[in-house]
């Protein structure tokens, strides 16, 4: 079964308290929304420590295993439409959906 990663770089808007509200929304709502998509395996979030030409404070990685890429894209688009109360700065958010080619382990 094909494996996919959704990698997102984003952060909150710049208002007072936006960072806290953004993180509460992401962990409390958005991660659950992503996990409700068919084939979702996990959502992992990271605070960015070092970056090159990308000024985003947070990175998330969502893993999917599914046979229907078209359906995955449809469900992702539907979830992306609901960012009510997120305080996410959607004007500068970036994401990549990638299909696994190989895994190399020690």
Question: Is residue 70 helix, strand or coil?
Answer: helix
Q: Which CATH fold would you assign to the domain 3-99?
A: Alpha-Beta Plaits (3.30.70)
Q: Say which DSSP state 26 is in.
A: I
| Structure confidence by residue, pLDDT tens digits, 60-100 | 999 999 999 999 999 999 988 777 767 888 888 899 999 99
Question: Rounded to two decimals, what is the model's pTM?
Answer: 0.91
CA angle 56, 26, 80 (to 5 degrees): 85
Residue 82: the pLDDT is: 76
Residue 22: the pLDDT is: 92
The C-alpha atoms of residue 92 and residue 85 are separated, in whole angstroms, by: 17
Domain map (residue ranges) of the chain: 3-99
Place of tokens 């007072």: 16
The C-alpha atoms of residue 83 and residue 92 are separated, in whole angstroms, by: 14
């Amino acid at each position: 079964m094909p494996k996919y990663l959704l990698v997102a770089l984003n952060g909150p808007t710049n208002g007072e308290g936006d960072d806290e509200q953004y993180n509460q929304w992401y962990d409390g709502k958005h991660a659950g929304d992503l996990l409700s998509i068919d084939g979702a395996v996990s959502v992992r979030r990271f605070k960015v420590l070092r970056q090159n030409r990308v000024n985003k404070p947070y990175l998330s990685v969502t893993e999917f295993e599914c046979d229907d890429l078209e359906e995955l894209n449809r469900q992702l688009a539907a979830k992306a439409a609901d960012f009510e109360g997120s305080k996410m700065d959607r004007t500068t958010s970036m994401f990549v959906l990638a299909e696994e080619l190989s895994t190399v382990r020690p």
